[in-house]
Structure 1
Amino acid sequence: MNIFKVNRLGILVTAAIITVILIIRQLGLLETTEDRIYDGYFQLRGPQAPPENIAIIGIDDESIGKLGRWPWPRHLHAQLLDHLAQAKAVAFDLTVNTADAPEEDLAFANAIKKQKGVVLAAHFSYSPQDGDMVQTLRLPVKDLLAVTRSLGFVNTPTEKDNVVRRAQAVITHNQKLLPSLPLAAVMAYEGIPFKELDFQPEKGARAGFLTIPQLQNTMPLINFWGPARTFPTYSYEKVLHGEIPPEAFKDKIVFVGAVSPVFKDEVNNPYSRGNMILQGNLPVPGVEIHANAAASFQLGQYVYRAPAAVNILLITVTGVLAYLLTGRRKALQGFGFLFLFAVITVTASYWFWNSQHLWIDLGALLITLFFTYLGTTVVNFVLTEREKRNIQGLFGRYVNPQVVNLLLDNPHMVELGGKRCEVTVMFSDIRGFTAYSEGKQPEEVVKRLNEYFSEMTACVFKYDGTLDKYLGDGLMAVFGAPIETADHAQKAVDAAREMHQRLQDLNAQWTARGEHTFDIGIGLNSGFVLSGNIGSKERTEFTVIGETVNLASRLESLNKQYHSRIILSENTFRHLKQAGELPSDLSELGEVPVRGLQQPVKIYTLTKMNE
């Protein structure tokens, strides 16, 4: 069967499915599914070793237990900076927008002066005012702001499902650019001055050699390295008390922030969604989100969402291929192709994500695959049932029940359109039927014909012949169509012999009843014909046409001339000879001219049937 055979209904259903999925995607109804698949890519890949030049100093439960309740006096941060003198950049993910004791702020300010790469945190707060949300930038206290060389906002955008997947690198506030804390930290590490920071909504942010893309006005997707504690994290109090050597932070970006659940500064990243307790992936501290973002900014490693046009094209192509591969197939076979196609699609999608950092809408593709398969399966069922009804209607009267069942189980074996094939055609006619029917009641004649045709038709069916039509007191049969068989000539001869034998049995019964007997003449010819459904819009019938049919009819009429009961053409003789099945009683009658043919035709008979 041709896998690319199409039908209008299947095409319409597939087109409708693709259109509906594209509309659903455009409305954003598949985003949750796509997000979950995107997160699954990270979990499938597993954690990766983070860059060695980024570390975290965490304010953990142990530090709170030893240093006291939060907030701590700021001279502790000053002491911490003394231990981080070898770090190239230190970013504090801590809000210092309220004043501490003057001596505390002074100590911290003096430490910041000595350390060139210190980045302090700012954050935006939002409050309702006159029905609108007012954004307010909360900066460090003046004494600290005056000495810091760099500043970065710490607000972290989350998706609708409260998962962080993106990082906002720059924000415009009061017509001024403000980098995020991770970008400011990387700029401090690389020695990039603030004046080199630029941002264009269509292209993204640029700072020195750093480029942070922004496609389709969306923030870049972070290439997360793993769940919580993937980046090396040191306890604040252990660093403060010298338990961690200063060399551990040499030439690194160090983020200082809360890692204790007490601060409730935890979010989910792709590694930590799902059943976090069972998976062992707890929410990620905000400071580690900043570390991941800084690593992406510095290395230029982002994940890019495929443009909408690309996803639309892929959905369309997937639907068309799914239809071509599963359409016109049995459900189980189609499911096998569906499964293989789905495996290839998932594998390719993951490869693009992992190797090329390109995120394709896999959810939409799989939904397209499934519903196209479901739609084509329903279409196949409808078409198959309709095809079976057509076959039953076309062939139920012409072939034996076994052949009908074979055609119903294998509808591809018959072409319902025109088809050229090699067959053996049989014509049979009752001798002297006109004389017999004269003076008899129509009911009696019809009853005798029905009795006769029942036996003759049974002989045709027994040898897999197709009853083409009844012709008054004769019949036309075909061997080798609609199901092609190589031994059609032999089956036609066998059927003819049995028709003769059954007629003798009928004649014996009729003689015993004192009724008139019949005699028949049969003509057989083998060759190529055009087979198919022929007729009008109102009614069509399966038949065969061509010179092969015409010659078989003329051979049947020659039986009167040769006083025989069967005449075979040279073509039928050749088929029997090639098969090595020449009847022992086959006898040549000679050559006869046939109207419409230039050369005379050599004909044969079976002598035993003429006895």
Structure 2
Amino acid sequence: MGSLSRHWPRIAVTLIPLVFALLHATGALHLGVLQRLDDIIYDARLRATMPRTLDERIVIVDIDEKSLDEIGHWPWGRNRVAEMVDELFDRQQASVLGFDVVFAEADESSGLKRLRQLAQAELKDQPGFVERLNQMQASLDYDALLAKSLQKRPVVLGYYFTGETQAKGVLPAPVMRRSELQGRPIRFIGWSGYGANIEQLATQAPMAGFFNPVVDSDGVLRAIPLLSEYKGEYYEALSLAMYRLLVGLPEVAPGFPREKFFGSRSYGGLESVLLRHPKGTVAIPVDDKVSSLVPFRGAGGVSGGSYRYVSAADVIGRRLPPGSLKDKIILVGTTAQGLLDLRATPVGEAYPGVEAHANVISGLLDGKVLFRPDYAVGYDAVVLLLAGLTLAFTLPLLSATRAVLASAAVIAALVSLNVYLYSAEGLVLPLAAALVMCITAFALNMSYGYFVESRSKRELANLFGTYVPPELVDEMVKDPEAYSMKAANKELTVMFCDMRGFTKMSERMEPTQLQELLNAVFNRLTDIISSNRGTIDKYMGDCVMAFWGAPVDIPHHAPLAVKAAIEMAGAVRQINEEHRAKGIPEIGIGIGLNTGTMCVGDMGSENRRAYTVIGDAVNLGSRLEGLSKAYGVEIVASETTRKQAPDFAWQELDRVRVKGKEQAVAIYRPLAPAAGLERPLLDELKAWGAFLRAYRAQDWEQSDVLMLNLQRMNAKKYLYELYSERVASMRLLPFDPEWDGATNFETK
């Protein structure tokens, strides 16, 4: 106890990450990075444990590129779908058929509707026409043909829910009603509209399931909701509907949590979805959104090896031997890229959506369902407390080597327990908070007491203090040996910012007034650069040059530079409001941003040196600043900068060839953070992208139409006036197949 009391500061420091981890685990402080890390761990664990074997029970009839080439673009005539259904049941003897597609509109491709109109109007007096039409009517009513094929067969149709208020087609009967929930506020995924199958088909195949997945915040499909809510009633997923059809249509009921460890007693959600059958009850575990994690078997797709894929063209063409699909569970879906049913999943970036449903059906049949239990929060809290307190009261007493071994042992125990519960029980439990807490606690404990000598700080501050903001100097003094002024090639982001209007102001103001005004503007812009971790290179008259990524390595240097540029443009607008109030002329601003490899270091003569950047990427940044005036915008950035700052909304300005470069480069204007972008601006950007495609294709008629629409959206935008004039002049020229859409600028 005496030793622990002497080390209480180190214990307190070690407990800091435990506190933050507990706040995150209990939901009091959401740390997105830990959630993302948990997703990464789950994805890696899932890939490592996939069986990668063929499930011979399930076959996917694929509307693939071959089928589209042979039969035509989707949707096909329902007569072809009827042929496929008849082939699957009559000749192939399939067990159950599910459609991962929806038939939401009547099929008029046969022309029957028009023939009926002719029979009632222009050709009603034509001898034999009406009689012949009556004879052909049955073969031309494609919806009736498909309805007849579906009749009294084990078929589950697909449909989708939507957040928009719409109601197309006929929903199946709900499988559960709100009264069964006993007043509990279950967090079902709710919808306000749907797109279902036409009545003619829905009445003949009354079973149907929705095929909406759950897409996480990172855009990855990891789960499928087994039940969803619409207007107080609850409907089943396609995979659950097919499973129920396979096992005798058991009744669906809510499974409420029982009292267990880790605080599930207070849990208000569902523990499981119950399937009640005279022979017994099956409980399917679900998470707090009544979703089931997809138990992926393999990489997915035709070559993934998890399921047999059969081309729909081969089924319709009767090329399969009779009975080759006997007793198989058939899912009709698509892998064709143009039909937009390829999803990002933990096991592949272009994973067929239909195979996700196949995985859930396979898992239900095997009784292997992965799920996040209701007591996951309590489990995480208990594990954090045990591990955190163990490290806090043990590490201060150990040498560095033993502290490393102790920390490694705690981490190994956490990982082993987590992996065991996953592999043996199918429990998906959090791990990221515990891992990060252990690593951070170890790092804080080991670094405590080792303060940087003031001499090291003074030396580094003297070396870099005039170039970089104080907070970066504070970072650098933690490891002074890692920094020097020696030249090196690094990927950085450079900024050139030019104030416009000072030349005209200099003719009307006293030199001291102009100096005071210029210094005031530079102070505000420099503060923004420094607050965004930028390094000031130099001031050149009314221009400031800065760069990001040196001397301190900043992986996200491009986003910081873009953020600084947007804030600087906003600061100038605020300055102009102050100028208008004081009767002082307004100023303008032009900013150029480029990201690329540059040479950075201490350069100059023996008498005068500076920590600066040079190189072709720097020159391009300067050229881009000069282009801002030509396009009537405050900020112009290169494509490399745009790619490294994906969290911002961008508007492409042009493709240009600047002086000194033969290769055309795309230039962009950053607008604002992409999150929360308003709908009118999103629509404007979409219309602008369409215009640029028409412009570069030299489709001047289409360009004019799109430009009129853009000018209605934003009539005062100089960029649209510029392109409108370009279109007007270029349409007088003949079509040039060699033109790449780039604009040449010969001046700096």
TM-score (norm 1): 0.56
- C-alpha distance in 2 between matches for 1:6 and 1:370: 23
Q: In structure 2, what is the equivalent of residue 123 of structure 1? A: 160
Q: In structure 2, what is the equivalent of residue 87 of structure 1? A: 94
Quote the offset at 1:176 in angstroms: 3.2
Distance 1:215 1:42, change over 3 A: closer
1:103 is matched with which residue: 134, 138, 141?
Answer: 141
Distance 1:134 1:372, change over 3 A: closer
Quote the offset at 1:150 in angstroms: 0.7
1:56 equivalent in alignment to 2:124: no
1:329 equivalent in alignment to 2:384: no
Q: In structure 1, what is the equivalent of residue 221 of structure 2? A: 164
1:238 is matched with which residue: 314, 326, 343?
Answer: 314
Q: Please give the secondary structure, in 2, of the residue aligned with 1:84.
A: helix
Does the CA contact (< 8 Å) of 1:220 and 1:303 recur in 2?
A: yes
Alignment of structure 1 residues 578-593 onto 2, 5 Å:
none
Alignment of structure 1 residues 184-195 onto 2, 5 Å:
184-192=241-249
Does the CA contact (< 8 Å) of 2:388 and 2:438 recur in 1?
A: yes
Q: In structure 2, what is the equivalent of residue 197 of structure 1? A: 252
1:228 equivalent in alignment to 2:300: yes
Q: Please give the secondary structure, in 2, of the residue aligned with 1:40.
A: helix
Render the CA deviation track for 1:551-585: whole Å, top value 9, x for unaligned.
xxxxxxxxxxxxxxxxxxxxxxxxxxxxxxxxxxx
1:28 equivalent in alignment to 2:97: no
> Which AA in structure 2 matches 1:89?
V
Percent identical across equivalent pairs?
Answer: 24
Alignment of structure 1 residues 171-186 onto 2, 5 Å:
171-186=228-243
2:283 is matched with which residue: 207, 211, 234?
Answer: 211
Alignment of structure 1 residues 43-442 onto 2, 5 Å:
43-85=47-89, 86-101=93-108, 103-114=141-152, 116-127=153-164, 135-192=192-249, 196-199=251-254, 202-208=270-276, 209-229=281-301, 230-272=306-348, 282-305=349-372, 307-379=376-448
Does the CA contact (< 8 Å) of 2:387 and 2:410 recur in 1?
A: no
- C-alpha distance in 1 between matches for 2:60 and 2:430: 34
Does the CA contact (< 8 Å) of 2:165 and 2:192 recur in 1?
A: no
- C-alpha distance in 2 between matches for 1:24 and 1:3: 31
Quote the offset at 1:98 in angstroms: 0.2
Does the CA contact (< 8 Å) of 1:90 and 1:255 recur in 2?
A: yes
Q: In structure 2, what is the equivalent of residue 40 of structure 1? A: 44
- C-alpha distance in 2 between matches for 1:64 and 1:3: 76
Q: Please give the secondary structure, in 1, of the residue aligned with 2:45.
A: helix
Distance 1:379 1:99, change over 3 A: same
Alignment of structure 1 residues 5-20 onto 2, 5 Å:
7-20=7-20
Alignment of structure 1 residues 554-569 onto 2, 5 Å:
none
Q: Please give the secondary structure, in 2, of the residue aligned with 1:41.
A: helix
Quote the offset at 1:287 in angstroms: 0.6
> Which AA in structure 2 matches 1:94?
V
Quote the offset at 1:2 in angstroms: 12
* CA RMSD, Structure 1 to Structure 2 (Å): 2.7
Render the CA deviation track for 1:187-216: whole Å, top value 9, x for unaligned.
1122216xx223465243223344322344
- C-alpha distance in 1 between matches for 2:316 and 2:30: 49
Structure 2: stretches of 5+ with no match in the other structure: 109-139, 167-189, 256-268, 452-748
Q: Please give the secondary structure, in 1, of the residue aligned with 2:224.
A: coil
Quote the offset at 1:64 in angstroms: 0.8
- C-alpha distance in 2 between matches for 1:46 and 1:302: 13
- C-alpha distance in 2 between matches for 1:42 and 1:9: 41
Render the CA deviation track for 1:55-112: whole Å, top value 9, x for unaligned.
2111111111111111111111111112221222100111101000361111111110
- C-alpha distance in 2 between matches for 1:140 and 1:222: 26
Does the CA contact (< 8 Å) of 2:225 and 2:290 recur in 1?
A: no
Q: Please give the secondary structure, in 1, of the residue aligned with 2:158.
A: strand
Quote the offset at 1:50 in angstroms: 4.9
- C-alpha distance in 2 between matches for 1:4 and 1:192: 64
Does the CA contact (< 8 Å) of 1:88 and 1:188 recur in 2?
A: no
Quote the offset at 1:5 in angstroms: 9.1
Q: Please give the secondary structure, in 2, of the residue aligned with 1:123.
A: strand
Count the aligned residue pairs: 367
Does the CA contact (< 8 Å) of 1:6 and 1:327 recur in 2?
A: no
- C-alpha distance in 1 between matches for 2:394 and 2:307: 47
Does the CA contact (< 8 Å) of 1:266 and 1:283 recur in 2?
A: yes
> Which AA in structure 2 matches 1:73?
G
Distance 1:212 1:134, change over 3 A: closer
Distance 1:146 1:360, change over 3 A: closer
Q: Please give the secondary structure, in 2, of the residue aligned with 1:358.
A: coil
Does the CA contact (< 8 Å) of 2:159 and 2:211 recur in 1?
A: yes
Distance 1:334 1:5, change over 3 A: farther
Distance 1:167 1:300, change over 3 A: farther
- C-alpha distance in 1 between matches for 2:253 and 2:163: 25
> Which AA in structure 2 matches 1:370?
I
Does the CA contact (< 8 Å) of 2:380 and 2:431 recur in 1?
A: no
Structure 1: stretches of 5+ with no match in the other structure: 273-281, 383-611
- C-alpha distance in 2 between matches for 1:134 and 1:44: 35
Quote the offset at 1:340 in angstroms: 4.0
Quote the offset at 1:252 in angstroms: 2.3
Does the CA contact (< 8 Å) of 1:169 and 1:212 recur in 2?
A: no
> Which AA in structure 1 matches 2:47?
Q
Does the CA contact (< 8 Å) of 2:226 and 2:290 recur in 1?
A: no
